Chain A
Amino acid sequence: MDFTLSKKHEMARALFREFAEKEVKPLAQEVDETEEFPRATVEKMAKAGFLGIPVPKEYGGQGCDILTYAMCVEELSKVCGTTGVIVSAHTSLCCDPILTYGTEEQKQKYLPDLASGKRLGAFGLTEPGAGTDAQGQQTKAVLDGDEWVLNGSKIFITNGKEAEVYVVFAVTGKIEKKPGRFIKEISAFIVEKGTPGFTFGTKEKKMGIRGSSTYELIFTDCRIPKENLLGKLGQGFKIAMHTLDGGRIGIAAQALGIGEGALERTIAYTKERKQFGKSIAAQQNTQFQLADMATKAQAAQLLVYKAACKKDQYQQDHKTAYGVEAAMAKLYAAEMAMEVTTKAVQLHGGYGYTREYDVERMMRDAKITEIYEGTSEVQRMVISADLLK
C-alpha cells in the first residue's frame, strides 16, 4: 500500500489550490455576507475545466478520475464551502446520473454543455415530506401521448435557480411488493430550465453555504418529452441511491476541506495571538487541540480518498461496491468538520465569534455536511445495514 499521490494528482492539487487561493478566497466572505451566487467564479471554473472533471473526454469532460474531482472540491472548500458544493452538486448529482443511466442520445445532448460548464446541473429528490424517506415522494409524472406531465414540488435544491439541467424524481405508478402491499414506483427525468410549467418557489435563508442557490422547484402541468425519462421506468429509486452514494464522496470532500481550512487558519492564528506574554500556540492546551484536529482531518482525508479510489474502481469494472466507504467517509468527514470548526472558533476566542474571521463562517458551513445528501444518521444506517446483512 502506497499513500503517495501520483505526479498527476500532485499537479492537480497544486492547480486547485492556486485557483482557490487566487480566485475563490478573496470573495468567500462577501459571498457569505451577500448570499449572492458566485457566478463569475463559476465561469472561471468552467474555463479551467473544473465542472467536468470525471466526465469522459468523448462527452466534453476532462477524463480524470474521482480522486481528482474529490481533491478539487476539497481545495475549493478549504476557502469557501459554497463554491465546493456548487461543483459537488453539479458533478455528482447531475453529470453522474446522466453519464451512468443516460441513453447515448441523452449523454450527447446534455453532457458536453454540463462538462464544459456552459450549463449548470442540479438534482431534485427532496420534498417537504420526503427527505430521508425517499418513498414519501408526492411529485407525480403521468405519460400523456409523447410527453410526461409533472406535477409537484421539490425543496432545498442546491444550484436551484442557477442550474439549467435538472435530474428530477417523480412517482410514476405503484408496484405490488407483496400481495395487497404496494410501494410507489419512482422514475427519474431530465428537466430543462425554461420548460413551461417549471417555476421556482422561495429561496431558502440558510445558516451556512449562504452563496449557494437553494430553491424550491415547482412543477405545474410541466410537460417534458417522453425521451427525457432517465434510465428505465421505475428505476428512479435505484438511480437516486446510486447517485447519492457518489454524491456523498463530494460532500465528504467538502466537509474535509472545510475542516482543513479551519485548521490552517487556526494554526496561523494561534502562532500570532499573544496572551500572558507568549503565543497561545505555546500553551499545551492549544497544542493538544491542534494535534487532535489535525489527526482527525488526516483520518477523514484517508477515508475520503479511499472512497474516491473505490468509485474509480467501480467506473472501470462496474462491479466494485463503494457505498459503504462513501457513507463512512461522509459520516466521519462531516463530524470532523463540525468538531474541528467548533474548536477553531474556540481557539480564536472572541475574534472567532465575529464575522471578521473565516472560522465563524466555516463553523456555519460545516453543519450542513452532517445533514444533506444523507444525514449522519442515514450514513450510520447504511454502514450498519452492511455489517448486519
Chain B
Amino acid sequence: MKIVVCIKQVPDTKGGVKFNPDGTLDRGAMLTIMNPDDKAGLEAALRLKDQYGAEVTVITMGLPKAEDVLREAMAMGADKGILVTDRVLGGADTWATSQTLAGAIRNLEYDLIITGRQAIDGDTAQVGPQISEHLDIPVISYAQDIKVEGNSVIVQRQYDDRYHVIKAQMPCLVTALAELNEPRYMTPGGIFDACAAEITVWGRANLVDVEDSNLGLKGSPTQIAKASDKVRKGAGEVVNVDAAEAVDYIIGKLKDKHVI
C-alpha cells in the first residue's frame, strides 16, 4: 500500500501570534510545529504501515524551511519527504494550494491520501477535499478512526453527536482529526536518519496538469484583507447572589452598556 500524507508547517500559537504591519502573519518571528491534525493523519498512516506494511510519503508546500517538518515526519517513521517550493507558489489560498498539491501528487502512485482536517493558521478545512476533487477520487472528511480492509478504507466520520461509518474504495482521500490518535514521538535514531536523508524538492516545473492561472497569489480567488489577534477578554466579574438577584444584576449591567 502507498500512502501520501499532506502536512503543513504552522506557527506554534502557544507562543503567541505575531503580525507584520500589513496584517499578515509574521511567520519568521514565530516558532513552528507540524499542524496537529496533519500529525494525527501521519500517525494514522504510520499505524497502517505498522499493521499492513505501507510506504508513507509526506509532502508539504511551503518555504524552504518547511523541510524541517518533513524531517520531523521522517524521524517519526515516514519513508520519503517531498517539498514543493517555488516563488510563483507564494501567497496561495486554499484553491491554489490544493491545485499545487494535486499537481505534485499526480507524479506519485498512491492508494490513500491523508490530510489533516484543517490547519491551525487558516482553519478552512478546504484543502483536503479540494485535492480529492482535483484528483477525481472520493473523500471522507473528519475521520476519527481509519481502518483498511482489502481494497477499501473504513472510516468513522465524526459529527457533533454521532459518527457515520463510511466505506470507500481506494484510491481515496481521508481528512484526519487531531483526536484520531496520540501521535508517536520521533526516535533519536529516526532523527539521525531523517537528517541524513535526501528530501525531494519540486518546483512549478514538476507540477502536472496545473494551469499557471491556478497558482500562487494570482491564482487565488480569496485574498486576506486583514488579520488580527483575538481580542483579549478581561477577567470578568464574579458575584455571589441567588438566581433571581443575578438576573436583575445582569439586566442592569446590560442596560448600563446600552445592550438592551
Asked if A131 lies at the interface with its beta carbon under 8 angstroms from chain B, I say no
Given the complex, which residues of B lie within 8 Å of A63, measured CB to CB? 189, 192
Q: Which of B184, B189, B195 contacts A61 (CB 8 A)?
A: B189
| Interface membership of B75, Cβ < 8 A | yes
> Could you mark each residue 1-40 of chain A with 1 if its beta carbon is under 8 Å from any beta carbon of chain B, else 0?
0000011100110010011000000000000000000000
Interface on chain A toward B: helix, strand, loop, or mixed SS? helix
Tell me the B residues contacting A by CB distance below 8 Å. Answer: 71-72, 75, 184-192, 194-196
Smallest CB–CB gap between B84 and chain A, Å? 21
A interface, how many residues as a size bin?
20 to 34
Contact residues in A for B188 (Cβ distance below 8 Å): 12, 15, 49-50, 53, 62, 64, 68, 72
B185 touches A57 (CB 8 A): no
The 28 sampled A-B contact pairs (Cβ below 8 Å) are A6-B195, A7-B71, A8-B191, A8-B194, A8-B195, A11-B186, A11-B194, A12-B188, A12-B192, A18-B185, A19-B185, A47-B185, A48-B185, A48-B186, A48-B187, A49-B187, A49-B188, A50-B188, A53-B188, A57-B189, A62-B188, A62-B192, A63-B189, A63-B192, A64-B188, A64-B189, A64-B191, A64-B192
A contact set with B: CB distance below 8 Å: 6-8, 11-12, 15, 18-19, 47-50, 53, 57, 61-64, 68, 72
Distance A72 CA – B185 CA, assembled complex (angstroms): 14
Q: Min CB distance, A131 to chain B, in Å?
A: 33
Give the Cβ gap from B111 to chain A, nearest Cβ, in Å.
Answer: 28
Q: Give the shortest distance, in Å, between A308 (CB) and chain B (any CB).
A: 14
A246 vs B188: C-alpha distance when bound (angstroms): 20
CB B198 to nearest CB in A, in angstroms, measures: 14
Per the bound structure, the CA–CA distance linking A62 and B190 in Å amounts to: 8
Contacts of A18 in B (CB 8 A): 185
Q: Say whether A15 contacts B191, CB under 8 Å.
A: yes
Partner of A11, one of B184, B191, B196: B191
| A53 contact set on B, CB distance < 8 A | 188-189
Closest residue to B191 on the A side, CB-wise? A11
